[in-house]
Structure 1
Amino acid sequence: MFDLLITGGTVVDGTGADRFTADVAIKDGKIVEVRRRGANDPTLQADAAETIDATGKIVAPGFVDIHTHYDGQVSWDDLLEPSSSHGVTTIVAGNCGVGFAPVRPGREQWLIELMEGVEDIPGTALTEGITWGWETYAEYLDVIGRRELAVDMGSQIAHGTVRAYAMGERGARNEPATGDDIAAMSRIVQEAIEAGALGFSSSRTLAHRAMDGEPVPGTFAAEDELFALGRATAAGGGAVFELAPQGAAGEDIVAPRKELEWMRRLGEEIDCALSFALIQVDADPNLWREQLDLSAAAHQAGSRLYPQVAARPFGMLLGFPGHHAFTHRPTYRKLKAALSREELAAKLAEPAVRAAILSEEDLPVDPNVLFDGMFALAQYSGDRLYSLGNPPDYEPTAERTVSAIAKARGEDVLTTMYDLMLEADAATMLMLPMFNYAEGNHDAIREMLTHPAGVLGLSDGGAHCSMICDASYPTFLLTHWARDRHRGDKLPLEYVIRKQSRDTAQLFGLTDRGVIEIGKKADVNVIDLDALTLHAPRMAYDLPAGGHRLVQGASGYTATIVNGVITRRDGVDTGARPGRLVRGSR
């Protein structure tokens, strides 16, 4: 008797091969039968504890998201949304050189402020939500290993935490490492890989800063330090070396070429996969293509260099629930401090209030408050700020900019911006693509997604809570790229599914998942592709201490299955928690 039988579905097996109709049987958390249907292939006749009729639906592997920041959230949230609501069955955390282990007793709050500054996760939520109980990275894995989750989770050890643990305040302040410091850090990294870390991560982009403004520890690490930690990664048994490189946010367009050069040499020496963030920057709109080609050449020379690419424009969402152009207007400040969210939304729609806010001068910026000057960016971005719509359009044309809409209405830009954000009870979000959208099109993104060196990443699940919700990438890939795209060529469904299942799993050595195949882990999605819908992003206030985050739901997932157990049925959490910590194959 099978535990679960999925009948009559169109199987897209994650390998990139053509789809086929089949019955899929699951027992004891494994796929035990894939019976193709055809003229000479009878339907699989067997008893099962539960049967899902998948006729007319897609049966695909569970998705593997390799770039998330659930390092703290996992200690209080077993559901790990929003990722788990988009067909994701395995996540990898510990990216960009930040995490929560190892930690010296008494330094927990410093790590929280580092994560808050770099990844925009409310510090109050982390302070209240994290249940500490570890010092070393191995102890952190043991604590997480006792959690029962909706998805599987793997973790990487972060350069920032290693440096601060080994060097104390000198490491936290990015002072140069001595030989003894490097030896101590190398021991920590090797022990972490041996304990089950899926990788080592570092950040070298100046855009990543702690709450006190200090760049992530390791940002300015010299080559001897980086190479030593790469060798430690290899000595631990081999894992991924993940990097947010210099120039990633466009602050230095010369740096990315230098970064690729040392990464290529390191990859040749340690024979580990190296993965780095790659986005299009306006300062050099074609640099990304050069980086992809250099990565492909590195592969041919024996260095496994994988650019992590995004599925859509990379930027932020603006609206009354989060950052916007009117946060420093006195009337808005007064109302926000005095009213509930619902009362504020109603008040903002009153003509007198609207007129007052639009007519006022801005209050001064507080240099001690992170992102306090965001309102000025919003005010001067009308020609790049788009009305997102519902369902959201992440490939909007020029006439959907706030400036273009204002011109058509005969209004000034800020008036139009105010009124657009006022829609849907003042909950509407506008999209400001800061990267990956030069000249307002997706052509660069499509090339990145189809380049043989590129791997899908950068969803930042669990992070940038007030600015983005790119954990919805899996659904966007299916709806936009495989089904709905109207401004250019689509991508085959088989390719889109492979990119976020087998390819991402294999980068991290997770060869037991990512495909629909006998003997593999029973991580499966049953998807009504015709009905699949990506909802508009909205602000939720469900983090500990009342912290807020942007979330984006989806409908059309008939079932999501983790380790052979249905965790979501018609998009609704079943309460099952079959997900566990994933340790490296070492």
Structure 2
Amino acid sequence: MYDLLVKNGTIVDGTGAPRFRGNLAVQGDKIVAVGDVTGPARETLDAEGCAVTPGFVDIHTHYDGQVSWDNVLAPSSINGVTSAAMGNCGVGFAPARADKHDWLIQLLEGVEDIPGTALAEGLTWNWESFPDYLDALGAREYTMDLGAHMPHAALRAYVMGDRGGDHMERPTAGEVDRMAQLTAEAMEAGALGFSTSRTHAHRSRDGLNIGTLTAEDPELLGIAAALRQTGKGVIQLISDAYLTADDDFAAAELQLIRRLAQTSGRRVSFTVQQTDDAPDRWKSIYREIDAMVADGLPVSAQVAPRPIGAILSFASTTNPFVVSPTYRRIASQAASIDERLRALADPQVRADILAEHAGFHAAEGFIAIITRGYSRMFRMTDPVDYEPHESQSIAAEAARAGVDPAAYVYDALMEEGGRRLLYMPLINYARGNLDDVHGMMTGNHVLYGLSDGGAHCGTICDGSFPTTTVALWSRGNKAGLSTPLERLIHGYTQRNAAHVGWHDRGVLAPGYLADLNIIALDDLALAPPEIVQDLPAGGTRLLQQPRGYRWTVKSGVPTFAGGEWTGRTPGRLLRGEQVVA
């Protein structure tokens, strides 16, 4: 008797092969038969009218703190993810000496917009070394499996002390050796890889650049050599190469990536996105990646399926009026969101904030767009439209109404009791459509990533990237560009899993882990995010519910049914590479 039988589904097996109708049987945590399968089972799921796919593998999340207090791990788990990699972008909570706990919290609060109060209350800190951290995670259970990178910023501070937080400081040869030694120990203990950040966008809560920003060859290649020594792990990084208009800087960063791949002998992936300042930079980066791969270097771009967009609201972190002293005072002093919203509804407060906003002028950058980019502000629809036209913008609405756009935005944000959400695409939307995103997603050496699940709690809500990937691109964007479903599923399953060394999942075939999604594709869609207060210390985050997932199964156990958690937690810590048993 099988433990689980999934019948009458359309099998999309994760390899990119054509879909077919069939059944799937599970015994224990493994798939044992696919195709013309019959026989009794302890539990049967009828997948009539649904696609049956492997569980999604998200290689770019930031659950490093949330894993201390939460075993559900939404939003990733509710969007079909059954395996996730965290510790990306060089940030995390191990290794950590006791005197660096607050510093690490401030760093994660600034870089990844995770409320510091939630981290301070929720983190257990029953570790110091990275192997200790893995042991702490290994004692817990989750809805999905997790792997963790050794984060460069935490490692640097552990070895260099306060100097490690200053990107202008250079480690001594002895400190480089120590970082390499600790990285090797982490790989042997089961670390997924090593991650680092080289972007000015990553700053602590106090506005200081991340300490790894300008790390030089001796430090980075010394650590990379530790991966070659162990023969384990991958390298993940973010660099400003994709956003610069400076050809020489971009070329230097890409040459560094080449040296990391050469020195480590391991797989390397890095962020590639599109900015307004360099809308075609991704194309030249892709050409360089092609050249690296032609030279035998396993280098990939991590790409996103839609714009990286800020969610503007009076009830969350960001809106055009955060530059107003009156707004900042109210936001910091209000005991609750409701109290904040009541204050903002006062006509005199509105007048004061609008007057202060009118006197603020940022010349360039994200703050200029967020404060006055009215043509890129859109009301969130249900389902969410991630390719809105400028004619739908707040600027266009205000123009049609003949009113000041700032006042119009203020009043729009006060709708729905002050909980109205506006969507502002900041990255991957330089030309006002998703045509270039399609080009990025269909490149030769790409990985689907950058969801940042667990991070950007009050500003960005992209843990739903897997759902967008399947729902949007299997149907096509507004220009009619699409990608076959089989290729999309392969990208979020076998391809991602193989990159990080999880060879036991991502394929629906006998012997593979029984991680599954059963999806009603015609119903697959995303509702607007909701503002919820379910983090420790009453912390606020944005949470987005998908529609269309009938079941998610992890290791043979249904974890979600009709979008609801079943209460079961078969997920575990993954140590290092995984092979088909």
TM-score, L = length of structure 2: 0.93
Q: Distance in 2 between matches of 1:243 and 1:331?
A: 36
Q: Distance in 1 between matches of 2:445 and 2:411?
A: 43
Shift of the 347–401 alpha-carbon distance from structure 1 to 2, 3 Å rule, reads same
The CA deviation at 1:296 is 1.4
1:365-404 to 2 correspondences below 5 Å? 377-404=369-396
1:105 aligns with 2:98: yes
Secondary structure in 2 matching 1:128: helix
Are the aligned partners of 1:319 and 1:427 in contact in 2 as well (CA < 8 Å)? yes
Are the aligned partners of 1:331 and 1:353 in contact in 2 as well (CA < 8 Å)? no
Name structure 2 gaps, 5 residues minimum: none
The corresponding residue for 1:486 is: 478
The corresponding residue for 2:163 is: 170
| Structure 2 counterpart of 1:179, one-letter code | A
Cα deviation code 1:375-412 (max 9, x no counterpart):
76533111222333221111111202221121122222
| Structure 2 counterpart of 1:27, one-letter code | Q
1:563 aligns with 2:555: yes
Secondary structure in 2 matching 1:434: strand
1:56-455 to 2 correspondences below 5 Å? 56-174=49-167, 175-250=169-244, 254-322=248-316, 323-327=318-322, 328=324, 330=326, 334=330, 337=333, 340-342=336-338, 345=341, 352=347, 356=351, 359-362=354-357, 377-455=369-447
| Structure 2 counterpart of 1:287, one-letter code | R
2:570 aligned residue (569, 578, 582) = 578
Q: Distance in 1 between matches of 2:46 and 2:328?
A: 53
Q: Distance in 2 between matches of 1:35 and 1:335?
A: 57
| Structure 1 counterpart of 2:2, one-letter code | F
1:474 aligned residue (466, 469, 492) = 466
The corresponding residue for 1:39 is: none
Secondary structure in 2 matching 1:501: helix
Are the aligned partners of 2:327 and 2:353 in contact in 1 as well (CA < 8 Å)? no
| Structure 2 counterpart of 1:526, one-letter code | I
Shift of the 143–364 alpha-carbon distance from structure 1 to 2, 3 Å rule, reads farther
Shift of the 209–354 alpha-carbon distance from structure 1 to 2, 3 Å rule, reads closer
Shift of the 338–102 alpha-carbon distance from structure 1 to 2, 3 Å rule, reads closer
Cα deviation code 1:184-216 (max 9, x no counterpart):
110000110111011100011111112233322
Are the aligned partners of 1:387 and 1:401 in contact in 2 as well (CA < 8 Å)? yes
Cα deviation code 1:432-469 (max 9, x no counterpart):
22221111011111011000111111101111111101
Are the aligned partners of 1:324 and 1:375 in contact in 2 as well (CA < 8 Å)? no
Name structure 1 gaps, 5 residues minimum: 37-43, 366-372
Q: Distance in 2 between matches of 1:69 and 1:582?
A: 16
1:524 aligns with 2:520: no
The CA deviation at 1:345 is 4.8
RMSD of Structure 2 on Structure 1 (CA): 2.3
| Structure 2 counterpart of 1:192, one-letter code | A
Q: Distance in 2 between matches of 1:374 and 1:490?
A: 30
Q: Distance in 2 between matches of 1:12 and 1:160?
A: 40
TM-score, L = length of structure 1: 0.93
Q: Pick which of 181-190 and 322-331 moved more.
A: 322-331
Q: Distance in 1 between matches of 2:129 and 2:110?
A: 23
Shift of the 49–72 alpha-carbon distance from structure 1 to 2, 3 Å rule, reads same
The percent of aligned pairs where both chains have the same amino acid is 43
The corresponding residue for 1:370 is: none
The corresponding residue for 2:450 is: 458
